[in-house]
Chains A and B, each alone.
Chain A
Amino acid sequence: MRLPDLRAPDLWRTTAFRLTSLYGVVLVLGLAALLALIYAQTATLMSQRVDRAIEAGIADLRQADAEHLPARIQQDVAGDVRRMNYFGLFSADGVWITGNIDHWPAGVVADGPATDVAAERRYGGDLRVRAVRLPWGEQLLVGRDISQLAGVRAILLQAMLISGALILVLGLIAGTMLSLRPLHRLQALQDASQRITHGDLTARLPISPRRDEIDMLASTVNAMISEIERLVADAKSVGDTLAHDLRTPLTRLRALLYRVQEEVEPDDRHRAMIERAVTEVDILLSRFRALLRIAEIELQARRSGFQSVDLAALLRQAAELYEPLAEEGGVTLLLAEPLYDGLETTLEADPELLFEAVSNLIDNAIKFTPSGGIVSLALYPGPALVVVDNGSGIPESERELVLNRFHRGANATVVPGSGLGLAVVAAVARLHGFTLDLADAEPGLRATLRAGPKTA
Chain B
Amino acid sequence: MTADEIVAELTAHGFEVERVADGREGLLLAATGGFDAITLDRMLPSMDGLAIITVLRGAGIETPVLMISALSDVDERVKGLRAGGDDYLTKPFASEEMSARLEVLLRRRGAPPDPVLRVGELEIDNARHEARHRGADLRLMPTEFKLLDYLARNPNQTLSRTMIFEAVWGYHYDPGTNLIDVHIARLRRKMEAAGARSLIETVRGAGYLFHATA
How distant is the Cα of A282 from the Cα of B206 in the complex, in angstroms?
A: 11
What A residues does B91 contact at CB under 8 A? 248
Encoded as 1 (CB less than 8 Å from any A CB) or 0, chain B from 70 to 85 comes to: 1011110010000000
What A residues does B172 contact at CB under 8 A? 352
A248's partner among B72, B92, B96, B186 (CB-CB below 8 A) is: B92
Q: Is the CB of A324 within 8 A of B94?
A: no
Closest chain B CB from A291 CB (angstroms):
12
What A residues does B93 contact at CB under 8 A? 251
Closest chain B CB from A316 CB (angstroms):
12
How distant is the Cα of A257 from the Cα of B206 in the complex, in angstroms?
A: 12
Q: Answer yes or no: A55 CB below 8 A from chain B CBs.
A: no
How distant is the Cα of A262 from the Cα of B169 in the complex, in angstroms?
A: 30
Known contacts being A247-B92, A254-B94, A305-B78, is A325 close to B73, with CB within 8 Å?
no
- Count A/B pairs, Cβ under 8 Å: 82
A325's partner among B75, B95, B174, B179 (CB-CB below 8 A) is: B179
What B residues does A72 contact at CB under 8 A? none
What B residues does A442 contact at CB under 8 A? none
Q: Is the CB of A304 within 8 A of B176?
A: no
How distant is the Cα of A293 from the Cα of B77 in the complex, in angstroms?
A: 14
Known contacts being A258-B206, A275-B204, A320-B143, is A296 close to B72, with CB within 8 Å?
yes
What B residues does A433 contact at CB under 8 A? none
Q: Is the CB of A293 within 8 A of B92?
A: no
Closest chain B CB from A265 CB (angstroms):
14
Q: Answer yes or no: A417 CB below 8 A from chain B CBs.
A: yes
Q: Is the CB of A296 within 8 A of B94?
A: no
Q: Is the CB of B143 within 8 A of A302?
A: no
Q: Answer yes or no: A192 CB below 8 A from chain B CBs.
A: no
How distant is the Cα of A257 from the Cα of B205 in the complex, in angstroms?
A: 10
What B residues does A304 contact at CB under 8 A? 75
Q: Answer yes or no: A321 CB below 8 A from chain B CBs.
A: yes
Chain B residue, CB-CB nearest to A363: B176
What A residues does B72 contact at CB under 8 A? 292, 296
How distant is the Cα of A254 from the Cα of B175 in the complex, in angstroms?
A: 19
Q: Answer yes or no: A299 CB below 8 A from chain B CBs.
A: yes
Q: Is the CB of B179 within 8 A of A282?
A: no
Q: Answer yes or no: B1 CB below 8 A from chain A CBs.
A: yes
Known contacts being A247-B92, A305-B78, is A325 close to B178, with CB within 8 Å?
yes
How distant is the Cα of A305 from the Cα of B177 in the complex, in angstroms?
A: 27
How distant is the Cα of A165 from the Cα of B176 in the complex, in angstroms?
A: 76
B186's partner among A251, A289, A324, A352 (CB-CB below 8 A) is: A324
What B residues does A279 contact at CB under 8 A? 205
How distant is the Cα of A282 from the Cα of B204 in the complex, in angstroms?
A: 12
Chain B residue, CB-CB nearest to A259: B96
Q: Is the CB of B171 within 8 A of A278?
A: no
Q: Which B residues, 179 to 214, have Cβ-Cβ distances below 8 Å to chain A?
A: 179, 182-183, 185-186, 204-206
Q: Chain A: interface secondary structure?
A: helix
Q: Is the CB of B171 within 8 A of A328?
A: no
Chain B residue, CB-CB nearest to A326: B182
Q: Is the CB of A248 within 8 A of B74?
A: no
How distant is the Cα of A245 from the Cα of B174 in the complex, in angstroms?
A: 19
Q: Answer yes or no: A374 CB below 8 A from chain B CBs.
A: no
A324's partner among B1, B185, B206 (CB-CB below 8 A) is: B185
Known contacts being A254-B94, A282-B205, A352-B171, is A302 close to B75, with CB within 8 Å?
yes
Chain A residue, CB-CB nearest to B186: A324
How distant is the Cα of A282 from the Cα of B96 in the complex, in angstroms?
A: 15
Q: Is the CB of B171 within 8 A of A324?
A: no
Q: Is the CB of B171 within 8 A of A355?
A: yes
How distant is the Cα of A31 from the Cα of B124 in the complex, in angstroms?
A: 101
Q: Answer yes or no: B173 CB below 8 A from chain A CBs.
A: yes
How distant is the Cα of A129 from the Cα of B205 in the complex, in angstroms?
A: 122
Q: Answer yes or no: A261 CB below 8 A from chain B CBs.
A: yes
B75's partner among A261, A305, A363 (CB-CB below 8 A) is: A305
Chain A residue, CB-CB nearest to B71: A296
Q: Is the CB of B143 within 8 A of A251?
A: no
Q: Is the CB of B75 within 8 A of A251?
A: no
Closest chain B CB from A293 CB (angstroms):
7
How distant is the Cα of A278 from the Cα of B175 in the complex, in angstroms?
A: 18
Encoded as 1 (CB less than 8 Å from any B CB) or 0, chain A from 407 to 435 comes to: 00000000011000000000000000000
Encoded as 1 (CB less than 8 Å from any B CB) or 0, chain A from 256 to 291 comes to: 011001000000000000010011001000100110
Q: When A and B form their complex, which 3 residue pairs have the shortest distance between CB atoms, in order from nearest? A: A324-B182, A251-B92, A248-B92
Chain A residues engaging chain B, CB cutoff 8 angstroms: 244, 247-248, 251-252, 254-255, 257-258, 261, 275, 278-279, 282, 286, 289-290, 292-293, 296, 299-300, 302, 304-305, 317, 320-322, 324-325, 327-328, 350, 352-353, 355-356, 359, 363, 416-417
The contact sample of 11 A-B pairs, CB cut-off 8 A, is A244-B70, A251-B1, A261-B205, A278-B204, A286-B174, A299-B73, A300-B73, A320-B143, A321-B175, A321-B179, A328-B178
Given A261-B204, A300-B73, A320-B143, 12 new contacts (CB under 8 A): A248-B1, A251-B93, A254-B94, A257-B205, A275-B204, A293-B174, A296-B74, A305-B78, A325-B179, A352-B171, A356-B173, A417-B176
